[in-house]
Amino acid sequence: MLNKTNETIAEILATRVRVMTARQLARCFYADRQRPVECARRSARRLRTTGFAETFAAAAAELPAARPLAVCTPGDPPPPLAQLAWQNERRWQAAWPIRQTCLVATPQAAAEFGGRRRPPRRRELEHDLQVANVYLALRAQGPELVAGWTHEDFLPYGQSDRPDALLRTRNDTTVIEVLGRGYGRDRIAAVWRAHRHQTLQLY
């Protein structure tokens, strides 16, 4: 049996993101506790022993709390691509990999919450963790703000321009794209061209 917090974490892993770290759990769910990291580790153990999460250790960098590097709306000119590429390079250079305890949903969690389980690839781990960072940063402003969040694993397959996530509200649909390690000017330009007819947030 899961408590409410662990149930929420399991549902997020199954339906909203591919992976989270114990550090992210500590920051986003246990920040008000005396020992948030230990609380997060206990949560990870509980989710593992009840069959809702698998855990693994990996070296991965984690960027600071997510804020958009650029926001584009339909009809806007391209964002400052060279500047964005420079900012992105600098932030990833400053982000040193550290040993992380990572959590992913199990088939049991996917069946319980209606998720699709596509475990992260190691080469994409840092990128997937930053997508989780974006989701958690938005959720921290109010869970209702991410009610319309759809992760790319729930979007139609076969689209070469499938974004990291869509955020649907009553009035708009926003494309969420994370600029991963090594995203240079040309790749950022391709992301903008693919989604220039929608509201686009680049993180």
The Cα 188–Cα 38 span in angstroms is: 38
pLDDT tens, 28-37? 999 999 999 9
- Write the pLDDT tens digit of every residue in 152-201: 999 987 666 899 999 999 889 999 999 999 999 999 999 999 999 999 99
Phi-psi region at 114: left, alpha or beta (left = phi > 0; alpha = psi -120 to 50): left
- CB-CB contact of 87 with 69 (8 Å): yes
> 167, 148 in Cβ contact below 8 A?
yes
**What integer is the mean pLDDT of 34-52?**
97
pTM: 0.94
Residues 113-149 pLDDT 10s: 988 777 788 899 999 999 999 999 999 999 999 999 9
CA distance 53 to 111: 12
Tokens 């959720």 found at: 139
In sequence order, what are the beta bridge partners of 173? Answer: 168
Give pLDDT, residue 1: 84
Q: What is the pLDDT of residues 83-112, one digit of tens each?
A: 999 999 999 999 999 999 999 999 999 999
